[in-house]
Structure 1
């Protein structure tokens, strides 16, 4: 990546050299601030140092994501993972203990310090030195998974494609083309299924050991504390799944029934779920070989919503903080990373010229705008909102952008198709989140389970949240290993319910926006600026929506969604 480091912040510090980092951190362990002002300065100085350290680690992760096949980059990343990050945790534990023991801590009433106190207390409660090595082992297993995914290339009709690139054929009007492309990708992914399972088994065991070491019965209990989930429970998540079954599944099934009838096929197969039912050419919003055009058109959308968003997007380009194309040796998926010392966001994705790529860049743009707004908060430890609200930022931006898809299309018909696809995708988001979240609850509350038991649990969830209309006959192997492609299961266990909580919040923001665009956007940006200095319910309230993902919230929002879908041409 070779982007600038943090010379302006701490010019003499090389984070890759632990002998330079350790004494800097030790100063915060040894210090005894003797007044509220002194303690506030202690936090401020710790924040500056932490920014530099975290940005270094973030850049190493970005480099590795962009170049999974570069041995030098991998070595630098693994040096961070093995030699630096594990040594940080015990020292931050001692630093946090020092803060919690300081008699002046309660005198710090600046906005956000109460949140920091609550989170640091949780960190100290669950820290165990013996878990540091286990977490390093988990990270190394995740890195091996990323290498598998990054090396995955698919041969199709004499050409070689990444999984993202071959998806361009899934909505081809020719059914044979769709099927052949789908099978080629599925077979290539299935070729790695044993290797993926061989990585996942030890991940599960290590995570269970981490939980037991910290005094929890299972990893789910551990995660609820480590992710600061103070405002909802595992039972709330399971109830969400039941609500999705009752409210969303009938509508999702009807979408497939209508699709099957419109296509006039005897069986609706997995490769029939994206094609236009009227045989119109697939939506191709941009040429994947012309990423500059993709960026320019996305900027127009942001400018239409609010010129301040366009200015924020310009900053990403100006600082070289966009890596958007799909290529061999690149980690799958998309993310926004925060570069803390330089106060800049970075967007990573794999664009292949599809409508979903437009939505992905807008989604990650929402994260970037959120970070930019919160980056004015000097205290790093109160800068970041809970993940549940971070996803409101990104998903709201997707919905606000829908009325501007004409930037990418030359006809109202195609613009309406893109909007309908997006709204139907919201239903899919809710059902898929219920699937993945339910799977994670099962995985981590059944330690020691066998692969056969895991497969049975997965298939049971697909029977609840998958389509009864789509015919998987003869494709059973691909269906039972479909979860292998969901990177969250490997990288960040239990990071998925956030998408559903946020999707509901984003629907609320969108409905507010339709009534009063200026007021709704102002509320959203006000919430962005709070960062992590307020609890989750307050962030939602500031954005103009309720923090709730029960059936009483899901039902009316989905009813509104259904009405919007029905109002659009098929």
Structure 2
């Protein structure tokens, strides 16, 4: 079914409550594990029905944050989602305490039961008012960012549409574009500080109600960190500081030389070539068509996947005013359909949508018919491997999108992947600092950010910009507001994706087979055993980052 033909109907939470209560009653009366699983399949159908309508609302509200109907529906779910999560948890608690737990654990997996335990540690009925307030704050942030009206070059642009000027080949143009962006954030800074301050205090209050010292542990539970902790994450970040930051600094120095500049300023930070970064040569419609051709050639599995997406119009990728910033892949369970949301803006990031978000969507498509739906419930550090690795597996097709600048794109993509990891780790460490010190003032948070800049991005020069030079850059990062502790998942995944880059240079076919196996494993295994199964080193393993840096230096930076 084409996406626009999918009907939307508001979820009646009272009916959902009755259905869950009935399922709880049935599960409590079950006489065997087999009977419990049959009842559990009914729960799948209920959960899928609810999530499908919630996701439909999310997509349509994201597409136009000023649409009054879906804005009201979004407000409704901001209020009702915590109630739904609490009902769902009550149901899962019956499974956790069942006399037939061993059967069910064997059936749906130990990972699923560990995730249930984490949910029990992260949710309680007493949190619902605070969670409703948190949802409202996130929606307020999204609406503020989506509603940006930046006058530039005779156009009124939002942040997504301004991006092409932020990376313009003319240094004066991009400097002016960054100045306009800085002016928007300066004007909005007090409101952004206020929103974030309320978020930090809200999340801290939730953590205290659950008996935690601060939000860090609660945040880890909510991110389903089912097999690693903050000490392991810190060890990873320390490896990055020690061995990857020097390589990233070398990449920036090579960029400076290539651009012929005496020094790099913050408005040069995403520039790689004097004649401008490579941009797609086709229209948005052509990019989608070339994506179809690319995936048809890559493998039989990707061919089937992209044809399904294309024929059912499961993309909303055109940039528009009042459209939510950023991009994501989501899933419509009743239709077993992935969906991709993005903002094409005429830069190379348009092609990244066809690789990165399609990596997510491909994995969702591969696993869409699993009988055990918990096996589709992947954690983010795994999900991002699928997307970031697909970016590398499709590198060989870039002539379709960039013509004679395909090699420039490949070079930029690899370098960007390297320099991203220190930035992502900085975002993560910043959040640990903030939530471990929830009474910090807005100025103290900005000072903390600037200190981290010196450790992770020593090359970064904000010149005399009145906003960014005062530590405000993090306010551009929506994950810090909307998805605390998510960002390190990108770094862990990029570490794995770089391993695939190294592997495919040696044996592309074997690397693809490993990747396909990873997609099929989905959430059947815990993180590190799963990586081991497909021949990847864990990012937490001492020496993992050192080995990657040595291989990349030998192949790409030793000439």
Scaled by the length of structure 2, the TM-score of the pair is 0.94
Mapped to 2, the partners of 1:174 and 1:227 lie a distance apart of 41
Q: Number of residue pairs matched?
A: 554
1:370 to 341, 357, 363: 363
Mapped to 1, the partners of 2:277 and 2:112 lie a distance apart of 49
> 1:103-182 to 2 correspondence within 5 Å?
103-108=99-104, 110-182=106-178
1:236 to 232, 245, 261: 232
- Once the two structures are overlaid, the 10-residue window that deviates more, 418-427 or 520-529, is 520-529
Mapped to 2, the partners of 1:438 and 1:112 lie a distance apart of 34
- Aligned-residue CA RMSD in angstroms? 2.0
1:561 to 548, 552, 558: 552
Structure 2 residue aligned with 1:52: 49
Mapped to 2, the partners of 1:408 and 1:146 lie a distance apart of 31
Mapped to 2, the partners of 1:552 and 1:38 lie a distance apart of 48
Q: Confirm whether residue 482 of structure 1 aligns to residue 470 of structure 2.
A: no
Could you list the per-position Cα deviations for residues 19-39 of structure 1 after superposition, in whole angstroms to 9, with x for gaps in the alignment? 322221111121221111110
The alpha carbon displacement at 1:523 in A equals 2.2
Could you list the per-position Cα deviations for residues 99-155 of structure 1 after superposition, in whole angstroms to 9, with x for gaps in the alignment? 222211212354543222222123224432111111111010000101111111221
Distance 1:4 1:436, change over 3 A: same
Mapped to 2, the partners of 1:92 and 1:230 lie a distance apart of 19
Distance 1:171 1:145, change over 3 A: closer
Q: Confirm whether residue 424 of structure 1 aligns to residue 426 of structure 2.
A: no
Distance 1:60 1:117, change over 3 A: same
1:342 to 329, 335, 346: 335
Q: The residue matched to 2:334 in structure 1 has which SS? A: coil
The alpha carbon displacement at 1:441 in A equals 0.8
The alpha carbon displacement at 1:217 in A equals 0.6
Could you list the per-position Cα deviations for residues 281-338 of structure 1 after superposition, in whole angstroms to 9, with x for gaps in the alignment? 5422145xx3211111122332332132132122112222100011111111111001
Could you list the per-position Cα deviations for residues 460-499 of structure 1 after superposition, in whole angstroms to 9, with x for gaps in the alignment? 111111233x432211522411111111111110001111
Distance 1:65 1:36, change over 3 A: same
> 1:360-399 to 2 correspondence within 5 Å?
360-399=353-392
The alpha carbon displacement at 1:380 in A equals 2.3
Structure 1 residue aligned with 2:261: 265
2:322 to 316, 321, 329: 329
Q: The residue matched to 2:537 in structure 1 has which SS? A: coil
1:461 to 452, 457, 482: 452
Could you tell me whether the CA contact under 8 Å between 1:334 and 1:348 is conserved in 2? yes
Moved over 6 A (4+): none
Mapped to 2, the partners of 1:24 and 1:493 lie a distance apart of 32
Q: The residue matched to 2:317 in structure 1 has which SS? A: strand
Mapped to 1, the partners of 2:101 and 2:270 lie a distance apart of 56
Could you tell me whether the CA contact under 8 Å between 1:420 and 1:565 is conserved in 2? no
2:20 to 10, 16, 25: 25
Structure 2 residue aligned with 1:472: 462
Distance 1:304 1:564, change over 3 A: farther
Could you list the per-position Cα deviations for residues 536-566 of structure 1 after superposition, in whole angstroms to 9, with x for gaps in the alignment? 1232223321223345001111222234433
> 1:508-519 to 2 correspondence within 5 Å?
508-519=499-510
Structure 2 residue aligned with 1:214: 210
The alpha carbon displacement at 1:177 in A equals 1.8
The alpha carbon displacement at 1:5 in A equals 4.1
> 1:524-563 to 2 correspondence within 5 Å?
524-563=515-554
- Once the two structures are overlaid, the 10-residue window that deviates more, 35-44 or 105-114, is 105-114
Structure 1 residue aligned with 2:279: 284
Distance 1:565 1:299, change over 3 A: farther
Mapped to 2, the partners of 1:397 and 1:555 lie a distance apart of 23
Q: Confirm whether residue 438 of structure 1 aligns to residue 429 of structure 2.
A: yes
Could you list the per-position Cα deviations for residues 166-194 of structure 1 after superposition, in whole angstroms to 9, with x for gaps in the alignment? 22223433222222122122222322111
Distance 1:514 1:197, change over 3 A: same
Could you tell me whether the CA contact under 8 Å between 1:335 and 1:349 is conserved in 2? yes
The alpha carbon displacement at 1:567 in A equals 7.3
The alpha carbon displacement at 1:393 in A equals 0.5
The alpha carbon displacement at 1:430 in A equals 0.8
Distance 1:564 1:66, change over 3 A: farther
Structure 2 residue aligned with 1:95: 91
1:77 to 74, 98, 106: 74
Could you tell me whether the CA contact under 8 Å between 2:114 and 2:226 is conserved in 1? no
Q: The residue matched to 1:347 in structure 2 has which SS? A: strand
- Once the two structures are overlaid, the 10-residue window that deviates more, 43-52 or 540-549, is 540-549
Could you tell me whether the CA contact under 8 Å between 2:141 and 2:195 is conserved in 1? yes
Mapped to 2, the partners of 1:46 and 1:359 lie a distance apart of 36
Q: The residue matched to 1:336 in structure 2 has which SS? A: strand
The alpha carbon displacement at 1:255 in A equals 2.4
Mapped to 2, the partners of 1:439 and 1:389 lie a distance apart of 22
Distance 1:283 1:77, change over 3 A: same
Could you tell me whether the CA contact under 8 Å between 1:326 and 1:351 is conserved in 2? yes
Q: The residue matched to 1:349 in structure 2 has which SS? A: strand
Could you list the per-position Cα deviations for residues 373-418 of structure 1 after superposition, in whole angstroms to 9, with x for gaps in the alignment? 111212323322221111111111011111221111222xx11110
Could you list the per-position Cα deviations for residues 196-251 of structure 1 after superposition, in whole angstroms to 9, with x for gaps in the alignment? 11111111111001111111111111122333323222122222222222212222
- Once the two structures are overlaid, the 10-residue window that deviates more, 224-233 or 400-409, is 224-233
Scaled by the length of structure 1, the TM-score of the pair is 0.93
Mapped to 1, the partners of 2:340 and 2:216 lie a distance apart of 30
Q: The residue matched to 2:331 in structure 1 has which SS? A: strand
Structure 1 residue aligned with 2:38: 41
The alpha carbon displacement at 1:425 in A equals 0.6
Could you tell me whether the CA contact under 8 Å between 2:247 and 2:549 is conserved in 1? no
Q: Confirm whether residue 65 of structure 1 aligns to residue 62 of structure 2.
A: yes
Could you tell me whether the CA contact under 8 Å between 2:13 and 2:84 is conserved in 1? no
2:496 to 498, 505, 517: 505
